[in-house]
Amino acid sequence: MTVATPFCTGYIAIIGRPNVGKSTLLNKLLQQKISITSRKAQTTRFRINGILTDQQTQYVFVDTPGFQTQFVNRLNTAMNRVVTQSVQDVDVILFVIEALRFDQRDLAALKILPEKIPVILVINKIDKLADKNRLLPFLKEVGNTFKFADVIPVSAMHKIQLPELLTTIRQYLPENPPLYGEDEVTDRSERFIAGEFIREKLFRLVGDEIPYSTSVVVDQFKQEDGVQKIYATILVEKPNQKAIIIGKKGEKLKQIATQARKDMELLLGEKVYLEVWVKVKSGWADNESVLRNLGYE
């Protein structure tokens, strides 16, 4: 008599300092983009659940902001609070670092991890290693800093060892029925993700010319005449930042909106009309009431 394989469902937090590839890892595991990425630190600001379901398992990945030790304002505090809260109620933690790069920022993130939850060390970007022989001594060095349940080297960008990572994660998930439908990929609304897509293009196209504290508000999200109409506002703190984002004759803002709209059409599977404005709101990143209105806890 064949014993049926039990179905497992659980929450997996993805933790690490900024820019180690947490959001890229989530998107590649899901094979769909729900979490935005850029080279700019703190691109991810909110807790975002990504859902992957196969015949035996439902993985609910919790993507979190990079644990930040450099910036000190209320926005930074709110994002770090998201990280520390996210690791308390999960079944497994993926602690993501870069291959051959481990410093005080990684150690600071390690300190918030609870000992009672299994932590899998995920060493990302192994495709960039010129000398693979350096990896083993690096594994030993990092392994001495924490009692990791498992260690998996991967390349999220090139999907190297991601099936092995999923197999390893499953070993630590409890037997439970699925929490979400098999076609669901995130618990976030399409409106929320639309705003995130605009912020991603903003960071990618403007880069270091604007501070990380720029934000996006989706003012309207409505279906009209078979078209999804989205109206959004980019918040900045200074007039010169507004000028940079708009660009000469509005070209930069048009480029941001065009690229964001294309991503939205892929996500929604329908035609999108998008209008984006830029507004100066001084001191918003240190204003608790404004942060709450923007969805920061």
Helix H or strand E encompassing 95: strand 92-98
Q: How many C-beta atoms lie closer than 10 Å to residue 211's C-beta?
A: 13
pLDDT tens for 78-111 read 555 555 665 678 899 999 999 999 999 899 888 8
Kindly tell me if the per-residue pLDDT of 44 is higher than 50: no
For residues 125 and 42, give the distance between their C-alpha atoms in angstroms, rounded to a whole number.
19
Q: How confident is the model at residue 292 (pLDDT cuts 50, 70, 90)?
A: low
Structure tokens at 258: 């065009």
Could you read off the pLDDT of 219-260 as tens digits, one per residue? 999 999 889 999 999 988 888 889 999 999 999 999 999 999
Task: Report the run of H or E that residue 154 belongs to, with start and end.
Answer: none
pTM of the model: 0.76
Tell me the per-residue pLDDT of 104-141, one tens digit each, with 9 for 90 and over: 989 988 888 888 899 999 999 999 998 889 999 999 99
- Between 126 and 64, name the one with better pLDDT: 126
β-pair type (227-236, 215-224): antiparallel
User: What is the enclosing helix (H) or strand (E) of 83?
Assistant: helix 74-86
For residue 43, give both structure tokens: 């691109």
Q: What is the pLDDT of residue 212?
A: 59
pLDDT, one tens digit per residue, over 256-285 is 999 999 999 988 889 999 999 999 887 655
DSSP characters over 219-249? EEEEEETTEEEEEEEEEESSHHHHHHHH-GG
